Every structure is written in structure tokens, then in C-alpha cells.
Amino acid sequence: MPKSLTIDPTIARSRAVICAPQIPVNAYQRDPIAEAAQYSREQLLAVYHDMRLIREFESALDSIKRQGAYRGIAYQHGGPAHLSIGQEAAAVGQCLALDVEDFILGSHRSHGEILAKGLAAIRQLEAAQLLRIMEGSMDAVALRVVESLQRYADEKSLARDWLVYCAYAEIFARATGFNKGMGGSMHSFFPPFGIMPNNAIVGGSADIALGMALYKRINRAPGIVIANIGDSSVASGPVWEALNFAAMDQYQTLWDAELGGAPPILFNFVNNFYGMGGQPQGETLGHGMLARVGLGVNADAMHAERIDGYDPLAVADATRRKKNLLLARRGPALLDVITYRYSGHSPSDASSYRDRDEVEQWRAQDSLRNYAETLCQHGHADATALTEIDDGIIRQIERVIRAAIDPALSPTLDPAGDTIGAMMFSNQTAEALGEREPEVLLPLDETRLRITAAKHRFGFDSDGAPRPKLRTLTYAEAIFEAMLHRFYADPGMIAFGEENRDWGGAFGAYRGLTEAIPYHRLFNSPI
């Protein structure tokens, strides 16, 4: 639609061939010397610790769901538990490359991602910052519970127990959970650690993550945003809408050069080869390898790669490279991270759709065991050190579960009064969600407001006679005035949709804004 983008018939009708970039598959090559130079021994051991913690965290949940107990601790959990046992390397490797200001959003199967991002944030934040965060969360109720469990050597040890406790409490619908038990297993979040809401709608996080990335781009906020979604979600409409929106040409062709470039979003497909029971590769879809879908989105094929999600350092390498690319405004990016879930879709799933031998083949190459062997082989750890980590994690899980199921320490939420409303609404007002000056192209008194402001605000005169329609404000003009006010008052205000710019929207409500508002605040979007 913009006149600046001429569609030349001579070029459009010329003979040509569309060329596609190659897509790397499992390109990472292990180099123990280079890895030892890049990561300290403590970092390499931390990767094992986090993978092992996630494995035990979910194994405990599985035991509780199936047997009603974990290591003699009895509990009946009636809520959902979509487990990612087997996928730990994909979550921990990703977070090894992220900073606190990087956001992750997940799916119904994201316990591991929550823990991995939280553990990474705890290592990155200073002790004083961690204490402020824990003190400021839910009036420090959860912190007081965890402080009562034992004497902690330091704030980071305390924070690790706090993280695991809040995760279990949330899953068990306790008021001391991250979200007072209202988010549960599939919707937990904790923004101070960069853990944004998970989503039980298949592929639902793709669009929400894109919105967050767009916010970061327009408001010059640091970091990237990752949508961790499953391989089957690539067939869903919301995911394709997000892919197309993220790759719009106008970020480079029409937006201001100072701000241009796609939103910093990574579509990270956690590819465990199954939906619930359907198998996208070879059965329900036709792409063969999921990474191939990038070819259908833009000329860069979304910088797509298929990577080995059983190798945490391969995942870290790919995530780091994509992050650098996104921060250079060259996105969006796509990763097809192959992994495998040992458990069913949920504890009630008997996995009748897959051969037991297939599961055992993947178990034989278990990422946790292979990584432990690699650490020992290259002198970063020995069996004694790993056993100490294992034992400490088991004690931690036992300690925290006992607290999370104790009704005296961890009660359920009392829904009386305005409890839920208080969680949903801030009951605050703000004239602007940002402190910088709103970016506009015209002074307010030179906009279309000069015309609409002169119109009557009521359709009848003092005698009750109808006023002339052309001299009376219409609903569309009233909407225009309200939006114009927000554009000039709030730097964070943007508007996008079908034919909003130039055309003025289907009903003319946006007419006059094209001349007043820069592209990054008012733009057309895909149908």
C-alpha cells in the first residue's frame, strides 16, 4: 500500500529462479578443548546440576501421580502433570546462553524450562538482588517458609530452594506458589527471573512472545524473547500468524533505520517427535524436518537450524548465535531442537502409539548420563562429585515437597472476598506507560484534530432539531480522537491491523494518523 514501495511490472514479470539457503542439521561438533576454554568447571558442573535437578523434580511428580508418594512422602495430586523427562538438555542448554532480561514463554510441558531459567537467573543475580526479589514476592510468605526449612550457607542456596519450593507449591495449587496456585502446572510465571507465562493452548505462546518482542523493539528494552513450543504446534494457525508477523519486510523497508529490524524473537520448537500421539514427521505433516518451514517464511529461511537437543552445549551454542543475530536486528530466528520425552503425554498415557523399542533406543543415549560421562572423561568431574550433586538434589526435593504439601506451611488460596480480582487487576491508573517523549511526526494542533475538534459533540441543538451530519462528530471520529490523545500522551501506545495505515482502517477511524504517527507506532499487519 505505501507509495514508497513501487511494484514494477517489468521486474515482477521477469524470468527468474527463487534460491533458498541451506539449513544446517546437527552442525555442532564437540571440541573438549574449546569447551573447556569457553566454560569454567563450575559452569560445566552447573549444567549437570540443573539437568539432574529437573530430572528429579519431574520424576518426583511422576511418582506422586502414579503411586501417590515420592520416597515415602505420601501425597495425592489431582492436577495435571505433563512431564518433560528426557528433554532436560534442551532446557538447560538454552538457558546457559541467556541473561535475566531475556524472556522465555513455554507450553503445557515447561516445568524444566521454568527451573532452568530460574537457576540461571539465580547464578546471574547478586545476593542482594535475590533477597529483594524474594522479599518482594507475595509479601515474602514463601521466603519465610523456605527460611524455616534449614540454615542456608548463602543467599543463592536459599534462592534455589525458594525456586523449587514455589514451583511445587504452584503445581499443588498452594497460596505460596509463584502465582498463589492459580497458574498451576501449565501457566506458571515469574517475571523477575525472565520466566513469562506458559500456555496450555498449543502454540499459544508464539503470539504472546511475539508481542513481548515487539514491545522490546519499540521501547528499546534489552534482551530477546523465546517461544518454547512443541513440534506439532507448527501446524496451528496462531504459530503461522506469529511467524508471518515476525518476518514482515516493513521492519527493514519502512521503519526508521534507528529502530528498524525484526522483533527479537526466537521460535524454539522443542521437537520430541510427537504431539499427543500423532507424529508430525512422517505422519501428520509434510515438512520432513521441521526446520524446513523457515524456507516458507522469508528469504533468510528464518536462519533456521535443526540442532541436537540431547547435547546441552550444542543447544547453548545455537541459542547464543541466534541471540546475537536477533540483537543485531536480523531476525526472526527458528530452531528445531530434537529431543525425546520418555514419559507419555500425561501420566495416564500408556504410549500405545509408539514402539517400546524406540523409547529404549532413546533412553540408551540419555542426555543426562551421556553428559555425566563426558564430564568425567575430560576431567571436569568424577563419580564422587556427581554423586554428591545427586544426593544433595534428592535431599532438596524431599525437603521442599514436604513443605509444599504441608497445609500449615502451604495452605490453599482462600477465594473469599476479592482475592481473585485483586490478582487480576492492579486498581491503578497511569497516563503513560513510559517516561520518554512520544514519537510523533506533527504537532498536535496540526493534525486532523483541527477538523474534528470543531464539530458538535451532540447530535441535536438546544431546540431538539438534528444538527447537520457533516458538522457533528461521528463514532469513527470519536475513536480517532481517543487514539490520537493516547498516541501523544503515551510513548508505548501503538496500533496495527489490516489496512490501518494510509487507508485509515476499514471505517476510517485511523484516518489522519498516517501523517502524524511514525511507522513503528502505526502499521499494517498480515490478514
pLDDT digits (tens, 9 = 90+) for 457-494: 998 989 899 999 989 999 999 999 999 999 999 999 99
CA 221 – CA 161 distance, rounded (Å): 30
Amino acid 190 reads F
* Burial (0-12, 13-18, 19+ Cβ within 10 Å), 412: middle
Class in CATH terms, 44-412: alpha beta
Per-domain residue ranges of the chain: 44-412, 444-524
Residue 202 predicted with pLDDT over 80: yes
Mean pLDDT of the chain: 93
A 10 A CB-CB count for 442 gives 14
- Integer Rg of the chain from CA: 26
Residue 345 predicted with pLDDT over 80: no
Angle between the N-to-C axes of helices 88-96 and 41-67, in degrees from 0 to 180, rounded to the nearest 10: 140
Lowest mean pLDDT, pick from 28-32, 174-178, 380-384, 431-435: 431-435
Whether 113 contacts 120, CB under 8 Å:
no
Q: Residue 281: pLDDT band by 50, 70, 90 thresholds? A: confident
Residue 354 three-state SS: coil
In sequence order, what are the residues at sequence separation of 6 or more whose Cβ sits closer than 8 angstroms to the Cβ of residue 295? Answer: 20, 21, 23, 301, 304
Amino acid 148 reads S
Residue 346 predicted with pLDDT over 70: no
- Mean pLDDT to the nearest integer, 355-372: 93
Diameter over CA atoms, the chain = 94
Residue 117 predicted with pLDDT over 70: yes
> Which grid cell is 310?
540431547
pLDDT score recorded for residue 353? 79
pLDDT score recorded for residue 182? 87
